[in-house]
Amino acid sequence: MIETEGSLLRQTANTRFDTSAAAVLMLLLLSACGSESDMASEASDSAGSRNGLTAAELATEAPATESGAEERRVDADGRGSGEVTELDWDALIPEEWRPETLLEGLNEDGASLDDISDEDPRAEAVMNKLMALWKQAPVVEALDGKKVRLPGFVVPLEFDLNDVSEFLLVPYYGACIHVPPPPANQTVHVVLPEGKAFRGGVFDTVWVTGVLRVERFSSEMAEAGYRLEALQIAPYP
């Protein structure tokens, strides 16, 4: 069942879940989009205009009989039993996958990403190549079926932010060609049990506990390499 643990704290986009691989990837891509302080300011302004800076909360629990039955179903196949493994985002990346090497040679004329603005005619071609690589990002098969706990930013997939049944969980936000959406192995599709809902939106930061599945998911927002069947959503930190 989904457990409520108080109100959900609103965070701005300058927060980072700073594990080594994700951080290196972010630094490699971060340049002509403006300073991190500018990004944080824009994120804060956007969040404020959408719903002020009030806390978002988890939806009310379903009746005890229903959630009890749901919990028994989880335990019945072993998915809900055992210890929870707290993951960082590096754990979702296979050791042999080196994103920094993939970025080399994306631009045919040899120019670095730092030298290409969003308005440059080369930008679209570079972005298309990059996103093709990102969609193919490999996952860690051994994580399938593990009960895990993972922090991240919420990227809603639905317009009604008061009744969110699924969302993407990511370690950072993309902003432009220099900071595109995270690769598939750094994007998790979070799904809540039927009848449960998460009340929140963009710029929320949370811990999600649940059963991790190696399962691809495609949306207009991003490509996810994992599915997380949520059992609990709590504020971060």
User: Does residue 48 form part of some domain?
Assistant: yes
Torsion sign (Cα): 174, 179, 182, 183: positive
CA–CA distance, 131 with 82 (Å, rounded to integer): 37
List, for residues 127-174, the tens digit of each pLDDT value: 888 889 999 999 999 999 999 999 999 998 887 777 889 999 999 987
The neighbour count for residue 63, using CB atoms within 10 Å, is 9
Q: What is the pLDDT of residue 124?
A: 80
User: Does residue 2 form part of some domain?
Assistant: no
Q: What is the pLDDT of residue 119?
A: 78
User: Does residue 13 form part of some domain?
Assistant: no
Q: What is the pLDDT of residue 149?
A: 98
Q: Kindly give the parts of the chain with pLDDT less than 70.
A: 1-82, 105-114, 175-178
Q: What is the pLDDT of residue 1?
A: 52
User: Does residue 1 form part of some domain?
Assistant: no
CA–CA distance, 52 with 181 (Å, rounded to integer): 25
Torsion sign (Cα): 156, 181, 191, 207: negative
Q: What is the pLDDT of residue 176?
A: 64
User: Does residue 8 form part of some domain?
Assistant: no
The boundaries of the domain holding residue 99 are 20-235
User: Does residue 176 form part of some domain?
Assistant: yes
Q: What is the pLDDT of residue 74?
A: 31
Q: What is the pLDDT of residue 197?
A: 86
User: Does residue 6 form part of some domain?
Assistant: no
- Secondary structure in 3-state letters for 139-150: CCHHHCCCEEEE
Q: What is the pLDDT of residue 76?
A: 29
Q: What is the pLDDT of residue 77?
A: 38
Q: Looking at residue 206, which CATH number applies to its domain? A: 2.40.50.870
User: Does residue 89 form part of some domain?
Assistant: yes
Q: What is the pLDDT of residue 118?
A: 75
How many structural domains is the chain composed of? 1
**Beta-sheet pairing, 188-191 with 223-235:** parallel
Q: What is the pLDDT of residue 200?
A: 75
